[in-house]
Amino acid sequence: MFKDFWEVVRRRYPGTGRRIGFLLVALVAMVFAGVVLVVGGAAGLAWTSTEKFCIGCHEMRNNVYAEYKDSIHDKNRSGVRAICPDCHVPREPVPLILRKMRATFELWGHLTGVVDTKEKFEAHRSMLAQRVWKRMKQTDSLECRNCHKADSMSSDLQSEKAQARHAKARAEGTTCIECHFGIAHKEPDGPGPKELKFD
Amino acid sequence: MRSGLTVLASALALCASSVVWAADVDEGAAEALMKKSNCNKCHSLDKKKEGPPFRETAGKYKGKPDAEDKLFTHLTTHPKVKVDGKEEEHTSLKTKNDDEVKNVVRWVLTR
């Protein structure tokens, strides 16, 4: 029955077979392109979120990465590490993509040498730190809390000092970064996250 | 005249002594030891944390001849300090080497 139907179509509308064939090829090509874009995009996101990628630029390697080395997030008893994207790249999808897009400006900064010497980096340190503190204050230190869950902090395993500090922070609504700044990287001059007000 | 000269000589000596402190500080070693000892859990360079900022300490002890000794004692004898109205023991640096402690003391005093 289909054969008869096809015969009628072929006679009345010559070239239909070619058009359908073309459409099928185009569809397969689009699906293939889509898969390549999705897989490529995911691979790109994953690759640009590795420690090796981040320290590919000497501005990071010689300054903030050198400071981070041997800090508690790099070396500790259990060997569990927090690397650059753990603190500096959001995990939620939209903020993640936005951050990656904004990172293209960092590429431009690298190419134009905005912070390519120690002196230039130090001159920009405060501004760079405040950018990070701003996001952390606005999200209640989300990147900290991705790993450090307050409800999972065992008071038996924390020192008395830590217990007292955290109890005070809970009572005052202090967010992690307001006390735990300058831990991974050298602190800049000027006001800290507690003093700064971000809208 | 004599007292004026004495004052001038003392002032020059004090300046020289602070220059000696500055010249004698191994910044890298001091910062590494402080990092290892977690000093910046409670102390910042110029911002308020649980403990006084290092610049405030440097200013407080500026020109005092016994500054180095006092801070050395502070960092080696676990004195009681008040934090949020409670008394706690001040931790010491993670070293048994007195020279390394003195280096950190000089680092603080030259902020």
Tens-of-pLDDT digits for all 199 residues of chain A? 888 888 888 888 888 888 888 999 999 999 999 999 999 999 999 999 999 999 999 999 999 999 999 999 999 999 999 999 999 999 999 999 999 999 988 999 999 999 999 999 999 999 999 999 999 999 999 999 999 999 999 988 998 889 989 999 999 999 999 999 988 999 999 899 988 888 6
Can you give the residue range of the structural domain that contains B8? Answer: 2-109
pLDDT of residue A13: 83
The CA distance from A157 to B23, in Å, is: 43
CA atoms within 13 A on the CB side of B109: 28
Is the pLDDT at B3 greater than 90, yes or no?
no
pLDDT of residue B14: 55
Name the residue of chain B whose CA is nearest to A190's CA: B46
Higher pLDDT, B5 or B40: B40
Residues belonging to chain B with any Cβ–Cβ distance to chain A shorter than 8 Å: 32, 35-36, 38, 40-41, 44-50, 83-84, 86, 88
SS3 for B86? strand
Number of structural domains chain B divides into: 1
Nearest CA-CA distance, residue A180 and chain B, Å:
7
Q: Could you tell me which residues are beta bridge partners of residue B83?
A: B86
CATH number for the domain harbouring residue B50: 1.10.760.10
Name the residue of chain B whose CA is nearest to A168's CA: B84
SS3 for B80? strand
Predicted confidence band at B106 (pLDDT cuts at 50, 70, 90)?
very high
Strands B80-83 and B86-89: antiparallel
SS3 for B110? coil
Is the pLDDT at B1 greater than 80, yes or no?
no
Is the pLDDT at B7 greater than 80, yes or no?
no
Q: What is the pTM of this model?
A: 0.80
Of A71, A181, A189, the CB nearest to B46: A189
pLDDT of residue B2: 59
The mean per-residue pLDDT over the stretch B7-35 comes to: 69
Token readout for A68 is 């981070």
The CA distance from A131 to A124, in Å, is: 11
Tell me the longest C-alpha to C-alpha distance in chain A.
Answer: 89
pLDDT of residue B70: 93
Of A161, A168, A187, the CB nearest to B44: A187
Q: Could you tell me which residues are beta bridge partners of residue A2?
A: none
The mean per-residue pLDDT over the stretch B100-107 comes to: 95
The CA distance from A170 to A153, in Å, is: 13
Is the pLDDT at B75 greater than 70, yes or no?
yes
The domains found in chain A, sorted by start residue, are 37-146+157-179 (1.10.3820)
Predicted confidence band at B15 (pLDDT cuts at 50, 70, 90)?
low
Is the pLDDT at B5 greater than 90, yes or no?
no
Q: Which residues of B touch A71 (CB under 8 A)?
A: 35
- Distance set, CA A107 to CA A68, A115, A125, A174, B35 (Å): 21, 12, 17, 34, 31
pLDDT of residue B19: 47
Interface test mutation site (partner B, options A161, A165, A177, A187, max chain B beta carbons within 10 A): A161
